[in-house]
Homo-oligomer: A and B are copies of this chain.
Amino acid sequence: MTKRDEQIVERIHQNTLRILEEVGMAFLSEEALEILRKGGIRVEENRAYFTEEQVMHALDTAVKDFTVYARNSTYNVKMNTEDLYITPGYGSPSICEADGKVRTATFDDFLKLAMIVQSSDAFSINGGILAQPSDIDADISVEAMVYTTLCRSDKALFSVCGGGEQAEHIMEMLRIVFGGDIEKIPCCFNLISTLSPLGITKGTLDTINVCAKNGQPLVIAPGPMAGGTGPISLAGNTSLANAEILATNVYAQLVHPGTPIVYGFAATVSDMKNMNVSNACPGFLKEARYGALLSKKYGLACRSGGGMSNANGLTAQAGVESAMSLFESFSEKANLVMHATGSLHSFNTVSYEKFIMDIETIDRMRYYFSDLPDDDDALAFDAIQEVAEEGSNFITVEHTFERCRMDPWFSTVSVHDNGRGNPNEELYASAQKRIEKVLEEYEYPTLSQEKRDALDAIMRKLGMKEKDIAKV
C-alpha cells in the first residue's frame, strides 16, 4: 500500500466513524433495536448511533480467521489467508443465451450450474443463488436452492438468505448433513445485504440472529450505488458501505460474540444515464480496491472484485470488463471473489458460455500471479548454450520436450487458430464443447441415503413438488 493510499484509507475510516456517530444507521426491527440498547448503543427512534470505541470493540470481538468446512474436506475454505476462493455469479433471474436472447431462469438451470461448479477445479465453494429458479414456488425457493446445492455438491456451501424462518430451515439441513452440533463448525457463507443508505431490514436482522447464534459466518455486503443509493463520489460511497459493514458487525457481535465475519464490501456505481447499476466500470473497481484495503486495515477476510460485466452478451466488452474486474481481485489479494463467473447485464443474467470462459480467465490469472520458477533448469543456460553453439533451435532440444507440459499455458476455451467462420460463433462453439465436457465429468458426491431422505423430508414438508425433488 502506498503512503497516499494509507492516507486515503485513514480519511475514509475517519469519515466512516463520523457517519456512525452523527448520522447512525436505521435498524428496522424492534427486537434488534432492543438488542442494541441492551448492548449500550445509543438508539433514537429506529436509528442507532455508534462510538468509535463500540465499533472497534466489535471488530476485536469478531472471529476473523476461520475455516468454512465442506462435506469433502478437500474443499475446506480458509478465510483471511492469502488464498483466493471464487464463487459463481449470484442472484440473476435470467439466462443470456449465446445469441444474446434473454430468457427466465428455471430450476433446471440451477441444477446444471450446480453441476458445472461441482465438476470444475476452479471452485471450492458451490451455491448461492446460481440463478433464481422461476418455476419453484417463491416461498420455498431459498430452501430449495440450498437443498439442491447440498445434494449435488460436496464443496463448501454458499447459503441463501431469505429471512429468519428460512435460515432456521437451512440450519436444520446443515445439522443433518454435518452432524447435530454445527455451532462450532462454520459450514456455510451467509450474504448479509444492507438497505443502503444506512439501513437494514427486519428480514436481514432475523437472518443475522439465526446465523450468528448457530456460529455461521456472515459476509456483510452493503452495495450502495454511487449516485443512486449512495453518494456519487467514490470516497463518499466507500465510506457509506464501510459504515454499514461496521455497524452491522456491532449488531452481529452483540447477538453472538465471536461471530465469524467477512468484509463483504460490494459498493457499485450508478449508470447516470439510466440509473442501472454499473458493476463493471472502473469506478466500481476503484471502490473494490479501497474496500480491499479497508478490510486489511481491520484484519478481516476480504471479498473483492468478481467477473463483472454490464454487457448485453458475451462480447469483447464483456471480456474487457470481467478481466479487469478479476485482475483487481487478484492484484488486491481478495480472499473471496463473488460473481466470478457467468455474470452479464449488470448482475441480471447468467451466460453459460461466459461462465466457462470466466473459469479460463481465472486460470490465466492464477498462472500470471503464481511464482516464477527460477531453478537452474528453468534458467535454461545449458539449453541456450546448446542451441547457440549448434546453430539449432529450441523446438527440438531435449529441454523443450521435458518441459512442454509444464511451462506453457494452454487454453481450454479460447480459440487460437484462424478459422474460416464467424469468430464469435467459433468461440461460443468452443465454450459449449467445454461445458459438455465438464458436465460429462460430473459425479454425484457421496451422501448417505439416510441424510438424503432427511433432507427430502424437509423439502417435502415445505411443499416442494415430488417431480422437483426427483430432479435433484
Binding site for B on A (CB under 8 A): 4, 7-8, 11-12, 15, 18-19, 22-24, 26, 99-100, 102, 197-198, 226-237, 239-240, 269-276, 278, 281-283, 285-286, 289-290, 310-324, 327-328, 331, 345-346, 354, 357, 361, 364-365, 367-368, 371-374, 377-381, 383-385, 387-389, 393-395, 399-400, 403-404, 407-409, 411, 413-419, 421-424, 426-427
Contact = CB atoms under 8 A, between A and B. Distances in A.
Contact of A322 (B24, B320, B385, B411): B320
Contact of A23 (B19, B102, B372, B384): B384
A106 to B, nearest CB: 20
Given A312-B418, A418-B102, A424-B313, A374 B235 contact: yes
B424 A271 contact: no
Contact of A357 (B310, B320, B403): B320
Contact of A233 (B276, B378, B385): B378
Number of copies: 2
A15 B236 contact: no
A400 B368 contact: no
A246 to B, nearest CB: 14
A271 B416 contact: yes
The 7 closest A-B pairs by CB, nearest first: A319-B319, A313-B423, A236-B380, A231-B380, A316-B319, A323-B323, A100-B423
B316 A394 contact: no
Residue of A19, A269, A416 with most chain B CB atoms under a 10 A cut-off: A416
Given A100-B423, A323-B324, 10 more contacts: A12-B374, A15-B381, A227-B408, A273-B416, A281-B408, A316-B318, A316-B354, A320-B322, A320-B357, A320-B361
A393 B198 CA distance: 11
A101 B15 CA distance: 55
A363 B36 CA distance: 46
A315 B235 contact: no
Contact of A364 (B281, B378, B419): B281
11 contacts: A197-B394, A230-B394, A232-B380, A233-B377, A233-B378, A234-B372, A235-B373, A240-B380, A270-B395, A271-B408, A321-B414
Contacts of A283: 367, 407-409
Contacts of A282: 364-365, 367-368, 409
B316 A417 contact: no
A275 to B, nearest CB: 7
Given A275-B395, A345-B418, A316 B427 contact: yes
B315 A227 contact: no
Nearest to A377: B233
A363 to B, nearest CB: 8
Contacts of A354: 316
Given A395-B228, A421-B100, A379 B236 contact: yes
A376 to B, nearest CB: 9
